[in-house]
Structure 1
Amino acid sequence: MILELKDVTKFYGKHLALHNFSASIQSGEIVGLIGKNGSGKTTLMNCIVNHIQTTSGTILVDSHDVQEQPSLISRFGVLIESSFLDYMNAYDNLKLLMLADGVTDMNKVEYQLNEVLELVGLTKRKKEYVKKFSFGMKQRLGLAQALLNDKPFLILDEPLVGLDVMGRELVKNIIIKKAKQENKAVIFSDHNLNEVKDVCDRIIYIEDGEKKYDGVFDDGRKYEIILEESSSNISALLDKIHVIESVRVVANRIQVADVEILNQVIEEIVTHQVKLQDLNVIEGSLIRLFEGDNEHVELQKHMQH
């Protein structure tokens, strides 16, 4: 199965929330939708599941238009701003949703509910009223809702928000299991690149409603050391460094792409008592889009010690 977005555009009045957004995701693939708050991630997901209408563009499931065939939405397991009935317990909330989805076999209902509650770690809390749940527990319950009825597509809006470390690892493992063992297509959003880069097959970066990056995660990071040309031992140092694998030397500049090799070069610099002029981090394209220049400062501190 394949989900395709073609030139999806969304205006709220005069505000452009999405602009000519195109992408695709196939069964068994995990795609991380990354962007800062307000970048358009949630709007895009709401368009995908037809919660809001696009201004233009098409969204296709196996070449069928979602807006022309709204029944296709039944193929999506969705976590977007979940809301539950506070005066009901977790189990009954999910049961109500299954019944509303047309499931009438009560044995199937009971089996699935117990299965998904176990998966998200809420078995012991399933009879508690939702009003007593923390935000993180409601997030887990929202994920359980998305997993009901074995949908082939999972659309998860910031499923890691509000969870502790163990909760985040639990959700990541569920995402991997659903995609790699059960061949589901998973797209999930987050504003933290470090949280998703090891989980995703592909990362899409969105900024101001536009797709800026779509590809595998490769930070492409390089470290550049600039030496004081007046240092008396610079020639001996460069002769030594030239033989180190993956080191590029141009005049008084040394470039490496590996932290371990960087540490090796630093040891040689200290040994030869060569002075530093500057130290730079040259980021890959995705990192440059997403992050600031904080690491430059941290590396300089490291070198000073």
Structure 2
Amino acid sequence: MSEITLAVKHLHKKIGKRKIIKNISFELKTGEVFGFLGPNGAGKTTTIRMLVGLIKPTSGTIHICGYNIQKNFPKAMERLGCIVENPELYPYLTGWENLKFFARMLDNVDDQRIQEVVNLVGLNNRIHDKVKTYSLGMRQRLGIGQALLNKPKVLILDEPTNGLDPAGIREMRKFIRYLAEQEGLSVLVSSHLLSEIQNLCDRVAIILNGKIIHTESVHTLLTEQEKMIWRVSPIDKGFAILKKAAPSAKLDKEYIVTPYLEGAIANWSKLLFEAGIDIKEMNRKIPSLEDLFLELTGGSSVE
């Protein structure tokens, strides 16, 4: 079984009389990429700031590799790497000099470890160039390299593909997957790019109004919401038959939408055929994560 590296239990945050975060709980496991999604004002950024120790929770606990961040903050932070918003880099220093500067703030990070990180983030050819000459993707990689210097078990990335072009997004996605699958890190990724969460993450948590409303594997979340799209004639009679068989069936203009239930589809088709209904088209539809997100949050936009 995979080790639990980040455990968040019954987390609350109250500012004045306003409850920002309401009883959030979730876990990250070794080697997984976990997506964190929420509409504007949902509490996503507040949660991340609590996870990395920038603000304190009102109540609840956060454990990183078994260490409570409130009771044993230094030990917990030793096992955490993070980039909140944009990586803080010095543009007139080289990539190596930036890593060297940050290494001085950590214990037992020598030149050998810095070189290991350079190899890991793929900046060997440019590490001795000034950061001001780097592309945005290279700066993101160097920022992640900075976060990896202390060999963390948990890596938190806030909008890691923000501003990247499509090629840079694909490269960053591949890199994050490598960190999880080959290096064994637990990676929490917040992003407003729902398609990237769908392509990148193993599981996703959706937060709304300070509460997590759904946590599931991306695959399960999508397949559970599969639909069957029917185009039949006459549509009114066909809809009456399908509505009786599947009470959640809906009429959408010239189409009928039912759940996709593999064991029932053949029987529903038989009912339509025996009633003299002409089946003109049947399509199985797996929703995108964006469609599902909008459905679960009532159409709220993402941050």
1:289 to 284, 296, 300: 296
Shift of 1:103: 2.9
1:91 to 76, 96, 99: 96
Letter in 1 for 2:11: V
Q: Which residue of the partner structure matches residue 180 of structure 1?
A: 181
Q: Relative to structure 1, is the Cα distance of residues 255 and 125 closer, same or farther in structure 2, using a 3 angstrom cutoff?
A: same
Structure 1 residue 176: Cα displacement: 1.6
Corresponding position of 1:214? 215
Distance 2:65 2:24 in 1: 18
Structure 2 equivalent of residue 51 of structure 1: 54
Q: What does residue 190 of structure 1 align with?
A: 191
Q: CA deviation at 1:179?
A: 1.6
Aligned mates of 2:188, 2:257 — CA distance in 1:
40
Q: Mind listing any 5+ residue stretches in structure 2 that lack a counterpart?
A: 239-248, 270-277
How far did residue 57 of structure 1 move?
Answer: 1.0
Give 1:49's aligned amino acid: V
Give the TM-score of the pair, scaled to structure 1: 0.72
Corresponding residue for residue 11 of structure 2:
8
**Counterpart secondary structure, 2:78:** helix
Counterpart pick for 1:112 among 116, 120, 134: 116
Alignment equivalent of 1:79, drawn from 79, 83, 87:
83
Residue identity (%): 31
Question: Number of residue pairs matched?
Answer: 263
Please give the alpha-carbon distance, in whole angstroms, between the structure 2 residues aligned to 1:117 and 1:64: 28
Q: Residue 30 of structure 1 contacts residue 200 of structure 1 at CA under 8 Å; is this kept in 2?
A: yes
For residue 39 of structure 1, give the secondary structure of its aligned residue in structure 2: coil
The two structures, once aligned, show a CA RMSD in angstroms of 3.8
Cα shift at 1:188: 0.9
* 2:43 aligned residue: 40
Alpha-carbon separation, structure 2, partners of 1:185 and 1:133: 27
Structure 2 contact 118–145 (Cα < 8 Å) conserved = no
Supply the AA of the counterpart residue of 1:160.
Answer: T
Q: Which residue of 2 aligns with 1:164?
A: 165
- 2:34 corresponds to which residue? 31
Describe how 1:126-275 pairs up with structure 2 within 5 A: 126-133=127-134, 135-217=136-218, 218-219=221-222, 220-225=225-230, 227=232, 229=234, 253=256, 255=258, 257=260
Unaligned runs of 5+ in 1: 236-248, 266-273, 294-305
Quote the offset at 1:123 in angstroms.
3.7
**Aligned-residue offset at 1:223:** 4.2
Q: Distance in 1 between matches of 2:234 and 2:172?
A: 52
What SS does the corresponding residue of 1:87 show, helix, strand or coil?
Answer: coil
The structural deviation recorded for 1:117 is 4.1
The Cα shift of 1:228 comes to 5.5
Contact 1:94 1:113 in 2 (8 A): no
Q: Deviations 1:95-136 (Å, cap 9, x if unpaired)?
A: 111221123533333x22431441xxx444433433454544
Instruction: Note if contact 1:84-1:93 (Cα within 8 Å) is conserved in structure 2.
Output: yes
Distance 1:28 1:108 in 2: 21
Pairwise CA distance, 1:66? 1.0
Task: Using the TM superposition, give the Cα deviation of residue 215 of structure 1 relative to its aligned residue in structure 2, in angstroms.
Answer: 0.4
Secondary structure, aligned partner of 2:107: coil
User: For the residues of structure 2 that align with 1:152 and 1:52, how far apart are their CA atoms?
Assistant: 21
Q: CA deviation at 1:44?
A: 1.2
Whether the aligned pair in 1 keeps the contact of 2:103 and 2:110 (CA below 8 Å) is: no
Residues 164 and 88 (structure 1), Cα distance of their counterparts in 2 relative to 1, 3 Å cut: same
Structure 2 contact 159–191 (Cα < 8 Å) conserved: yes
CA distance in 1 between counterparts of 2:202 and 2:133 reads 36
1:103 to 108, 123, 126: 108
CA distance in 1, matches of 2:55, 2:196: 28
1:211 to partner: Cα distance = 0.4
Q: Displacement of 1:61 after TM fit?
A: 2.6
